[in-house]
Amino acid sequence: MPDHRKLGRELGLFDTDPLIGAGLPYWLPDGAIVRHCLEEYVRDLERRAGYRHVHSPVLAKRELYEISGHWAHYRDDMYPPMDVGGEQLVLRPSLCPHHALIYRSRGRSHRELPLRIAELGGMYRAELSGVLGGLGRVRAIQLNDAHVFCTLDQVEAEAAAALALIRQAHDALGIKAARYRLSLPGPGGKYVPGNWDEAVAILRSALDGLPYDEVEGEAAFYGPKIDVQIADSAGRESTLSTIQVDFHQPRQFGLEYVGADGAKHRPVMVHRSIIGSIERAVAQLIEIHGGAFPAWLAPVQLRLLPVSAAEMPYAREILDRCGAVRAEIASEGSLGARIRDGRLAPFQAVLGPREVAAGQLSLRLRDGRRLDAQPVEDALAWIAAEARRP
């Protein structure tokens, strides 16, 4: 497996600048295309699974994290507060407290539950510079996050549904889990007291039938987790997807719903991420595909190769007709060199006098296959169908 840091720079997907800082990569146009396609995929998947999307700010008052418990249990990973007009603001270390407040913004009935709130949002981690590299570990994270607010009876089904969604997305993206991990609390005062045994039992049931390891000391401070681990090109393991059961934050924020009995009850929060951070997910996709992205993710889907200057007007005419198909003209250098340069593109088309005369396109696929020449309209429709999002 190639290293995404090397390949990502070679392919012009992302880069860093010492003036921006370590762990703060920026995305170049081709990288931004891959990222946006992935974001659209996951938002659509979530919408179809009954999630509602929200947006919330990346900053909040320090007090919010004192209530959530992050300030007491997670402060070492947070940036120091900023004094602004007599208030202390912090860059958020997670999205959960904002979502808890969105839940609390009005009265809730049991009929609304499970309430699934999702966001692709920014969060920040004060990683030491020694551990940073490429997209695998960054200081500014775009997280595919969601919180399911539900009754105790619903938690197991919600955790199982989240796990099924994770597996569906990994299949669609070609991601292979290195292992499933049930992350339990360990010794030490890092964890809040509470219903840990109950939460662990729920996650064990959700994992039923899958091979997994139980590892102490890897839980969140507020609850146990299912972590889906992936391996990078160097064999290093990290967490991509996660499901967490949390009784703590609903209690801290005083979350309630009115039950069928007319009385007030406390919901449970299931935290879950399908593809983890966008940064880590793209790092993984670069490595598993070696830069040869599936057509729906490829920054350039069709490369047009005019044999000579005489075919340039025809190439431009086709480019204008490409619509949603992402195409470019490659006209510099020998034809053989251009075909080789484009070996990662899903589709290439050599444009010679014959294609111009017939108004046709002859497609070459990445695996070396060549399709018969066909009318431009048909070829573009075929590419659009091949490049449809899973």
**Contact residues for Zn ion, defined by CB under 5 A:** 96, 271
Q: Answer yes or no: are the C-beta atoms of 207 and 163 closer than 8 Å.
A: yes
| Coil vs helix vs strand at 225 | strand
CB-nearer residue toward Zn ion: 96 or 315:
96
- For Zn ion, the closer of residues 145 and 355 by Cβ is 145
Nearest to 65 by CA among 118, 123, 120: 123
CB 94 → Zn ion: shortest distance, Å?
Answer: 5
Report the residue number, 108 or 271, with the smaller CB distance to Zn ion.
271
Pairing of strands 52-53, 115-124: parallel
Nearer to Zn ion, 8 or 250 (CB): 250
Residue nearest to Zn ion (CB): 96
* Residue whose C-alpha is closest to residue 34's, from 283, 303, 343, 390: 283
Least Å distance, CB 101 to Zn ion, is: 13
Give the shortest CB-105-to-Zn ion separation in angstroms: 17
On whether the CB atoms of residues 267 and 171 are closer than 8 A, the answer is no
Could you tell me which residues come within 8 angstroms of residue 247 by beta carbon, excluding any fewer than 6 positions away? 194, 195, 198, 199, 222, 223, 268, 269
> Buried (b) or exposed (e) across 363-378, using 16+ Cβ within 10 A?
bbeeeeeeeeebebee
Shortest Cβ distance from residue 102 to Zn ion (Å)?
Answer: 12
Type of residue numbered 233: S
Work out how close the CB of 96 gets to Zn ion at its nearest, in angstroms, rounded to a whole number.
3
| DSSP code per residue over 89-107 | EEE-S-SHHHHHHHHHTS-
Nearer to Zn ion, 92 or 139 (CB): 92
Reported in sequence order, the residue ranges of 217-346 that DSSP labels E, i.e. its strands, are 225-231, 237-246, 257-258, 264-265, 268-273, 302-306, 327-329
Nearest-approach distance from CB 157 to Zn ion, in angstroms: 19
* C-beta closer to Zn ion: residue 243 or 327: 243
With respect to Zn ion, which residue has the nearer C-beta, 177 or 243?
243
Minimum separation from the CB atom of position 148 to Zn ion (A): 10
Residue type, 352: G
